[in-house]
Amino acid sequence: MLSILLVAFLLDVALGSVHIPLKEVIKVLFTSDSGNDTWVYIIEKIRLPKALTAIIVGCGLSVSGLQMQTLFRNPLAGPSVLGITAGASLGVALVMLSAGSITSLYTIKELGISGSWLIIVASSLGAALIMILIVSISSSLKDNVIVLIVGVMIGNITLSVISIWQYFSSPELIKDYLLWTFGSLGGVTGGQLGILAIVVFAGLLISFLSSKLLDALLLGDNYARSMGLTVKRARILIIGSTSILAGGITAFCGPIGFIGIAVPHLARALFNTSNHRILIPACCLIGTVLMLICDIVAQLPGSQTVLPINVITALVGSPVVIWIIAGPTKLRGF
């Protein structure tokens, strides 16, 4: 698996609209020195950050999906289930669709859609707002199923607010917003990459430290409580780290679907375990590989076009999951 990861990483850096020989790529990666300055620039400033973003996104979304599936004991749960990504989208919609604000339009035009700090701050605030709402509501609820339903409903409300906003906005603005919802790994560079890495690392650390809590929750609330788990505190911890992961990633890369739902199933099936101390690193590994492969496919090797990543994750990933879960091996994860 690790070697597949290495190959995928190399291929992701090597392939792109500008052809760079593999040998040169490796040379640049290890010595940051090559005969061709353009190649060095392309690799160091564009491809490497993009591949690193893919890794971070793959880890973060997979682990947050795993946490949601365990917390709610529902195989269809994912990072978006609590409405946190919807909250991030609301933040972005707020900035992009409020056409009155000239500054926002200017920054977007200047810096590109996904690369703008304004967008990142707005969507972080949106995600944080929904997260605070969910955590405060959930601290008074006893049953995790009710928390799940409340989360889905809040997500729906948020999305419909966005739809109303879109309905009254001009087509150009809607197009900008739609482009953002396609997701992009390419917009995160330099300092942003550092911040995203810190945010996601913090989220992953919290979720790894709560892997024992997650194990207990596999048996449901009542059993977990009988084994000495304070369910409400565990729930807040898990929802908190999921929000940090999903919210942070959505803020920087836009909503990226599918990975969060699919990878936990792949991890359970391939590693054949229910132990979260193993599943969390497994999700990171598989999520990373899948994300890198999706990014390679998105660049349509050999062509000049780049497809939106959000389209590819589902297009590539869904058949993989169907094959693994329903195929001849029948490795059932849930």
Partner 1 sequence: MAAQTSLLHTSGLTIGYQAGKGKTKVIAGPLDLELHAGQLICLLGPNGCGKSTLLRTIAGLQHPLNGEIILDGAALKKLKPAQVARKISLVLTDNVRSGNLDVYSLISLGRYPYSGWLGILTEQDKLIIEQAIRATHTAAFLGRKMDSLSDGECQKVMLARAMAQDTPLIILDEPTAHLDLPSRIQLMRLLHQLAKETNKAILLSTHELDLALQVADQIWLMSNGGHLDAGLPEELVLNGSFQQAFDKDGIAFDAASGTFNIHYTGKRNIKVTGEGIAAFWTKKALVRNGFNISLSDENELSVSVSGEGPDSLWTIQQNNKTTIYTSLREFLDTL
Task: Report in angstroms how near the CB of residue 255 gets to partner 1 at its nearest.
Answer: 27
Q: Say if CB 13 and CB 29 are below 8 A apart.
A: yes
Task: Report in angstroms how near the CB of residue 211 gets to partner 1 at its nearest.
Answer: 7
Tell me the DSSP string of 137-152: HHTT---HHHHHHHHH
Q: At what angle do helices 231-253 and 84-97 cross, to 10 degrees?
A: 40
Q: Measured from the CB atom, is 18 or 209 closer to partner 1?
A: 209
C-alpha dist (Å) from residue 45 to 18, 117, 167: 14, 18, 38
Task: Report in angstroms how near the CB of residue 154 gets to partner 1 at its nearest.
Answer: 24
Q: Measured from the CB atom, is 12 or 215 closer to partner 1?
A: 215
Q: Say if CB 241 and CB 206 are below 8 A apart.
A: yes
Identify the burial level of 225 via C-beta atoms within 10 angstroms of its C-beta, where 0-12 means exposed, 13-18 middle and 19 or more buried.
middle
Task: Report in angstroms how near the CB of residue 236 gets to partner 1 at its nearest.
Answer: 15
Task: Report in angstroms how near the CB of residue 331 gets to partner 1 at its nearest.
Answer: 10
Residue 153 three-state SS: helix
Q: Measured from the CB atom, is 45 or 212 closer to partner 1?
A: 212
Q: Measured from the CB atom, is 42 or 216 closer to partner 1?
A: 216
The helix or strand, by DSSP H or E, that contains position 118, with its residue range, turns out to be: helix 117-138
Residues in touch with partner 1 (CB under 8 A): 70, 73, 75, 209, 211-212, 215-216, 218-220, 222-223, 225-230, 268, 272-275, 277, 332-334
Q: Measured from the CB atom, is 23 or 212 closer to partner 1?
A: 212
Q: Measured from the CB atom, is 50 or 268 closer to partner 1?
A: 268
Task: Report in angstroms how near the CB of residue 143 gets to partner 1 at its nearest.
Answer: 12
Q: At what angle do helices 102-111 and 117-138 cross, to 10 degrees?
A: 110
Q: Measured from the CB atom, is 164 or 227 closer to partner 1?
A: 227
Cα-atom radius of gyration of the chain, to the nearest Å?
Answer: 20
Q: Say if CB 294 and CB 317 are below 8 A apart.
A: yes
Task: Report in angstroms how near the CB of residue 34 gets to partner 1 at its nearest.
Answer: 44
Q: Say if CB 65 and CB 205 are below 8 A apart.
A: no
